[in-house]
Chain A
């Protein structure tokens, strides 16, 4: 089955366990949201899936369309079709967006094959238009001196250009005003379709008004404590994370 599958994942950083037995499946073509309070391990999950070297996986499996991700380097995972939109994207001084994306797409071509420059720019301009970005942006250095909103838009632009099989959006809504949020959501929605699975990580329900998920999971203290359809997000909004925490406590008692 085509899916991004996480089974009983345990992750530690500096001997502290952050993810404690998490299981999840995002089938291709669906949008799953993970909601949770600060410190619940959401961003850790995203980084571990992408292969960040600071985290130790102590237990569990993650597979992408059946292939074990943990046997792959971060760049190999990316080329297999996994994309992560960063909460805090890095600056790359002196490297323009156009050159960076070109290198990223070139890295996906077979040895000896060259990216067609004309097609590339046509696609780049089309995607920029979709995200309401000025063409002059292509000659700016990646994330250098960008506002929060510009950084997030650039992440979504990269998502649109790279066309992965699975995308993890880590707190893409944070730091965005309502107009920027709408633009970003519009960009993501236009990419939705049967060939893309999306894992949306967010603290707030607000984003889910604009990118409506197929499923919602609530993450507390390193585990998924509740899963449901999109209505769960509203319920959570109304009753707060304390309610979810109680559930977690109950689960621990009844186990």
Chain B
């Protein structure tokens, strides 16, 4: 049973995230994107030449690629890349203790409850403020096992032999327009390496905070779990409400070597001015497991399809996702499962909730080539519509060739009916309580599979969303 204190430990709500303190940045790349922007960023970060070249190639690819409006939302055209600020920081060296973090930045994270969560149940925390990690620390016992957990800037500088080997390999520059953009201006994000056989018991957490207006956050996360190791990583995100568009375009690359287990949890709670265009992909080697737990709340438009490439025999991939599209929001989310070896199995469970004029889109891709044997995929996607104006679309693409493979796909659309709400009201629940209980019921079987701290947080976030949505 969940106790009251557990709930409070992870109580991050929309309103708590909606604030910003004025912070003077020592480094500011200015507005707009050009080669000059890239050189500015590379100079500040003291990038090696190969990274500078990588960035310039990213910029070129970004400019060449068309906006994917032919299959995705036309709303992407509303992003004015000339008005965005691409790099803002107070320095590139993250602090190891909260005391060292500048006061004006620290109070933001204190208000979000990050240091408290760290004390309660985390093995390590990284806190990114606009472009750079301002704090990064790992519990001593975990560090002594050889686990590396630093910001990507620091990872690149201090661990080039591991970093360079895997960086940009799972998600190449030209994967899509926004991965190219990230490749050009990336900054921040986590770099994690878990040595062979090391099982990290408590989650590592990164918190991404956008504080500045007209800003673009482009963190780049790279996680490598060496053979037989285990890790749970969690990211949280918030931004204050601004009237202008804010861009968040991350790239996350995961590598699970033979027999490793890697679980990546996202509980994002963006304000409704954020364009959230993120590329996430994991590579699972033999008998390894990559699992994405992805909760998308808030933002103006989210486009995110966590993927797993099952490269080795008996590799497993899983995506469990929940998307909540409130009034005026579009959650365009899904999953991709690329089977590239025999006996690989994948599982996709996606639940979406559309409220008011909110729109939830599911895009799924399952690929099993002809020469493979004994591959399995299970896909379930369920949509819940709250109002008559709510919208949901499903675009599953499943290509399964060959005879020895099994695929199962189930989809459903349901509605919270007026009768159901009346029934619950007759038991004494207010309309908002009734709605929120129905929605929590809808996601319940999925949320039960999440680590407890995050399932409690997610339920609270859903309740807060529902409170605002009922007259």
The chain A residues found within 8 Å of chain B, CB to CB, are: 50-53, 73-75, 77-79, 83-84, 86, 89-95, 99-100, 103-104, 107-108, 114, 117, 141, 158, 162
Contact = CB atoms under 8 A, between A and B. Distances in A.
Interface in B400-438: 414, 417-420, 422-431, 433-434, 437-438
Closest 5 CB pairs of A and B: A94-B441, A95-B441, A94-B444, A90-B423, A104-B427
B103 interface: no
A84 B417 CA distance: 19
A73 B425 contact: yes
A90 B442 contact: no
A75 B437 contact: no
Nearest to B434: A75
Contacts of A95: 437-438, 440-441, 444
Contacts of B431: 73, 75
Nearest to A50: B426
A143 B426 CA distance: 15
A117 B1 CA distance: 9
Interface SS majority for chain A = mixed
Secondary structure at the B interface, as helix, strand, loop or mixed, is helix
A162 B422 CA distance: 17
A136 to B, nearest CB: 17
B357 to A, nearest CB: 22
Contacts of A91: 420
A74 B442 contact: no
A91 B433 CA distance: 16
Contact of B428 (A53, A89, A107): A107
Nearest to B444: A94
A153 B315 CA distance: 48
B251 to A, nearest CB: 34
A107 B427 CA distance: 9
Contacts of B414: 93
Contacts of A94: 440-445
A54 B426 CA distance: 14
A161 B444 CA distance: 24
B417 A103 contact: no
Given A93-B414, A95-B438, A103 B444 contact: no
A53 B419 CA distance: 10
A52 B428 contact: no
Interface residues of B, number: 27
Contacts of B445: 94
B4 interface: yes
A90 B423 CA distance: 6
B430 A100 contact: no
Contact of A90 (B1, B419, B430): B419
Nearest to A83: B426
A153 B4 CA distance: 32
A193 B371 CA distance: 74
A153 to B, nearest CB: 16
A92 B422 contact: no
A250 to B, nearest CB: 38
B177 to A, nearest CB: 38
Contact of B441 (A78, A84, A93): A93
B211 to A, nearest CB: 33
A79 B1 contact: no
Given A94-B443, A95-B437, A78 B420 contact: no
Contacts of A50: 422, 426
B58 to A, nearest CB: 44
Contacts of B437: 92, 95, 99-100, 103
A99 B447 CA distance: 15
B428 A78 contact: yes
A75 B430 contact: yes
Contacts of A158: 427
Contacts of B418: 53
A51 B424 CA distance: 12
A75 B421 CA distance: 10
Contacts of A108: 428
A107 B431 CA distance: 12
A123 B417 CA distance: 31
12 contacts: A51-B422, A74-B426, A75-B426, A75-B430, A75-B431, A78-B425, A78-B426, A79-B428, A83-B426, A86-B423, A93-B441, A94-B443
A2 B419 CA distance: 30
A92 B443 CA distance: 12
Interface in B52-103: none
Nearest to A82: B426
A107 B433 contact: yes
B448 to A, nearest CB: 10
A148 B434 CA distance: 24
Contacts of B425: 51, 73-75, 78
B426 A141 contact: no
Q: Which of B417, B422, B430 gathers the greatest number of chain A CB atoms within 10 Å? A: B422
B422 A74 contact: yes
A92 B4 contact: no
Contacts of A53: 418, 422
B456 to A, nearest CB: 14
Contacts of A73: 425, 430-431
A114 B428 contact: no
Contacts of A74: 422, 425-426
Given A92-B437, A95-B440, A78 B422 contact: no
Among A53, A89, A92, A99, the one with the most B-chain Cβ atoms within 10 Å of its Cβ is A92
